[in-house]
Amino acid sequence: MAENDQQYIEVAVCGAHMSGLPLNPQLTALGGEFVQKTKTAPYYKLFKLNGFTPERPGLIRISEAGQAIALEVWKLPIENYGKFVAGVPAPLGFGTLVLADGAKVQGFLCEAYATEDAVDISAYGGWRCYIQEKSA
């Protein structure tokens, strides 16, 4: 992390908090700034969760047969990180994600029990592709 970025923490978002999607204003209102589009390492699955408005995905890390999932990395002022994370409803939470380049960032993860009745949308490669296909 560059010296002038020490007051920020990088946060990976893979669903409704991405640019142009319904929950993105929660990030920008807390001073979040877009860093990059990237993907996870191929250790994950993405599910369309039930019971959320707006719709949201759940990302889980698995031990085998995973896939790289598209996401965005944002930087959030460290003093607002706790406020952002505290607003995340269960079964979603925060943990360490591994990106395609091996970097590790904080980001959204999902408790596994919530995926038991959810639709596996990993084959779409990401939430934005899933919602674009669904609306076509």
Query: pLDDT of 4-47, one tens digit each?
Result: 546 999 999 999 999 999 999 999 999 999 999 999 999 999 99
DSSP 118: S
Alpha-carbon distance values, 84 to 11, 79, 87 (Å): 10, 10, 5
Q: Which two tokens stand for residue 90?
A: 């269960």
Is 98 strand, coil or helix? strand
134 falls in which pLDDT band (50, 70, 90)?
Answer: confident
Burial group, residue 81, by CB count within 10 angstroms (0-12, 13-18, 19+): middle
Query: Domain 3-135 belongs to what topology?
Result: Hypothetical upf0131 protein ytfp (3.10.490)
**DSSP 3-state of 47:** strand
Return d(Cα 117, Cα 112) in angstroms, integer.
10
CA pair distance 132, 117, nearest whole angstrom: 22
The residue extents of the domains of the chain are 3-135
Whether 124 has a pLDDT exceeding 90, the answer reads yes
> Which residue from 127, 83, 75, 63 is spatially nearest to 105, judged by alpha carbons?
75
Q: Which residues is 40 bridged to in the sheet?
A: 99
| Residue (of 3, 73, 87) closest to 38 by Cα position | 73
pTM value is 0.92
